[in-house]
Amino acid sequence: MRIQRTAAAVTLTAAAAIALSGCGNESGSAPHTGTDDHVAINPLSPQEIDADQTATTAMQMILSWQPAVDASKGDALVRAKPWLGGDLLAAAEDGKSVSIRPDRDWQQWAASKDALTANCVRSDTTPAAPAGMRTVVIDVTCRQSVLHATGQSTPRTPETWRTTVTRTDDGWRLTDYRFQQ
């Protein structure tokens, strides 16, 4: 009986040693633990992206709002400044409020400390452009989500925007956008 207990103890000790040996890493430091923290992902550099990426990145910035801290939707335009050109860039630099469709829920979102984030993709309705064009029209479909302070989110109906993107010496820039009905 004593031999069986000794054998069982040795077996358990060996199993524990094998299990624990896989818990560390080669440097001997603590193992990496994951996180579910939300972190901001830096958008692509405007000098390194193509016309489609410029249109989608700029519109994502323009349609992502923080009603609790933004004075208006125009603050999002200022955040999109690196991807803007022409009159849009001038408006963002001058601090002028560019006409963005008013939203009846703005005050409610501000009071609730909700934020809105947008995810945009190139739309199939984008007109074909000849190769080598310096100005192109790109339709983007954007879906905003309301991120509630409670941790829940509410997706909004997708919307299509017709954008104009112009090639500059420093990369592509969004120069105009219009809501498509």
Look up the pTM and report it.
0.74
Task: Write the pLDDT tens digit of every residue in 128-166.
Answer: 988 899 999 999 999 999 999 999 999 999 999 999 999
Say how many CA atoms lie within 13 Å of 28 toward its Cβ: 0
User: Can you tell me the distance from the alpha carbon of 76 to that of 60, in angstroms, rounded to the nearest whole number?
Assistant: 9
Question: Which pLDDT band holds residue 29 (cuts at 50, 70, 90)?
Answer: very low
User: Is domain 47-180 given the CATH code 2.60.120 in the classification?
Assistant: no
Residue 123 has pLDDT above 90, yes or no: yes
Please report, for the chain, the start and end positions of each structural domain, with discontinuous segments joined by +.
47-180
Reduced to 3 states (helix: H, G, I; strand: E, B; else coil), residue 147 is strand
The DSSP line for 50-105 is -HHHHHHHHHHHHT-B-TTT-SSTHHHHHHTGGGB-HHHHHHHHHT--------TT
